[in-house]
A and B are shown apart, each in its own frame.
Chain A
């Protein structure tokens, strides 16, 4: 397992990207998958950086782990977990946006978590011992390289 502990600031998004990119590249993830996971990591991380400790700054821990077997059964799965000790916040509790509205009625924003839910294979949230713990999983198809 790999771990990154940083101040949850927007500026540190690039450090989060580097951490994730290195970890995924190491386990043979194709570039397209890395970009898809990166997209989801950005949404969750920016939420923490923007709201968890606002107006103060706190710490975010990002864990990267894998389960399964490369090209086997069960297949290799990337598991990314975000932990902060900020205000209780379950991003999954938010209702999905209505993507069938026309331009005038579509609000600006609110798509981040929806993209995460649609892109990842599995997501989960729990509040435990004063921490927000958000986990997301995606199968890594190394053959797609």
Chain B
């Protein structure tokens, strides 16, 4: 997993790279929760995301719920395989997928 972020206070871009599973999701979650205060526009770029388990879905759902109260969150560049998981789990409706 690699984690990249630019933070100008209100806008946050997160690139999820590689694999997000039960072993590394906590680290990502902790980093995000530390930085999310005051953010009004959050973008998750999934271009380089190859694998996401339900642990990663939980994290995305938690962020979407949180961002609903303080701004906007969008998920971009979702590949076909990850999109299949989003469809099976109903996340295509829950997440703002551009």
In-complex Cβ contact of B88 among A35, A46, A106, A115 (8 A)? A115
**Interface contact B89-A111, CB-CB below 8 Å:** yes
Q: How many A-B residue pairs have CB under 8 A?
A: 59
**Interface contact A42-B21, CB-CB below 8 Å:** yes
**Interface contact B54-A112, CB-CB below 8 Å:** yes
Contacts A109-B58, A111-B54; is A13 near B23 (CB within 8 Å)? Answer: yes
Interface size of B by CB at 8 A reads: 22
Q: Which chain B residue lies CB-closest to A100? A: B90
Kindly list chain B residues whose C-beta atoms are within 8 Å of the C-beta of A43. 53-54
Chain A 101-131 per-residue mask, 1 if CB under 8 angstroms from chain B, else 0: 1111010110110110011000000000000
In-complex Cβ contact of A11 among B23, B58, B89 (8 A)? B23
**Interface contact B94-A114, CB-CB below 8 Å:** no
Contacts A42-B22, A103-B65, A119-B88; is A111 near B51 (CB within 8 Å)? Answer: no
**Interface contact A13-B21, CB-CB below 8 Å:** yes
**Interface contact B61-A108, CB-CB below 8 Å:** yes
Q: Which chain B residue lies CB-closest to A113? A: B54
Alpha-carbon distance A116/B85, docked complex (angstroms): 11
**Interface contact B88-A38, CB-CB below 8 Å:** no
B-binding residues in A (CB < 8 A): 10-11, 13-14, 32, 35, 38-39, 42-43, 46, 99-104, 106, 108-109, 111-112, 114-115, 118-119
Q: 26 pairs across A/B with beta carbons < 8 Å?
A: A10-B22, A10-B23, A13-B22, A13-B23, A35-B81, A38-B51, A39-B53, A42-B54, A43-B53, A46-B22, A101-B90, A102-B93, A103-B65, A103-B68, A104-B65, A106-B90, A106-B94, A108-B58, A108-B61, A109-B54, A111-B54, A112-B53, A114-B88, A115-B54, A115-B88, A118-B88
